[in-house]
Structure 1
């Protein structure tokens, strides 16, 4: 009991997302993407799991 309202709201939200496209500022998106830099330097990055190489006692 009570699932009907929740399901109806989910259906309403899904329908709104499907049929009503939000306004997008494509110029702003293009500027943001053009000005972005890589967040990490992968060439000099150590393996995140290098500290665990000898974990478990396996030789």
Structure 2
């Protein structure tokens, strides 16, 4: 019991996905899958910086034995 609302929502979402028309940009999808950055220079600059570089030299202390 109590599954009626959840099932109705799932049915509504499935129906929306089935009957809505979605415009797919296949060239952008191919670029994303192949790793081509294209003309987007801001993406390449953010990909070059690793947020974990500050922690690369970190080693936990072994005093917890």
Normalised TM-score (structure 1): 0.45
Greater share of residues in helix = 2
